[in-house]
Amino acid sequence: MRHMITFDRDNIRFTNRIVGIAYDGDRVLLHRAVTDDFWAMPGGRAELLETAAETLRREMGEEMNETVEVERLVWIAENFFEFNGRAHHEIGFYFLMHLPDNSPVRQKAEPFYGQEGDLRIIFEWFPVETLEQVYLFPTFLRTGLKNLPASTVHIVHRDSKEESAHP
């Protein structure tokens, strides 16, 4: 039995999310559920007694059938937002990760599909320079992915309705 670090209280959901930042030249990898109209960074929910790096490797194996190298922690983000009528409080650990040089994922020019349980996921490479026009959450990523900080940065981020609008 899996023990995800997610819980609900009233109309609030808390999640511990582990995120991977993968670049291929001037492109960055994003994903979304086929049922969503917005993009996010690949990753998933941590499990109890699992390190963040273990979570990221597990999630990339499950969702993309890919082995990744976890390099360094870029951001710790306290992210607050609303989704599907529910308030969310998310603690996100954003890691720079690397796909193997011979990874078939690197060769993809078109969107490709992965799976998370019963949910089909679309993965796609986006040019970093276009991210301000991409419906990407959390919104700090639209500019933050252009120039990663040299050391870990703590972010407290709230996506307001104005920021959340389609770019």
pLDDT tens digits for 20-41?
999 999 999 999 999 999 999 9
CB 40 within 8 A of CB 61: no
Helix (H) / strand (E) element for 78: namely strand 69-83
Structural domains for the chain? 6-102+111-158 (3.90.79.10)
Closest CA to 7 of 56, 48, 60: 48
pLDDT of residue 166: 59
Within the chain, which residues score under 50 in pLDDT?
Answer: none
pLDDT of residue 72: 98
pLDDT of residue 163: 55
Q: CA-to-CA distance for 16 and 4, rounded, in angstroms?
A: 8
> Is the backbone of residue 96 left (phi > 0), alpha (psi -120 to 50) or beta?
beta
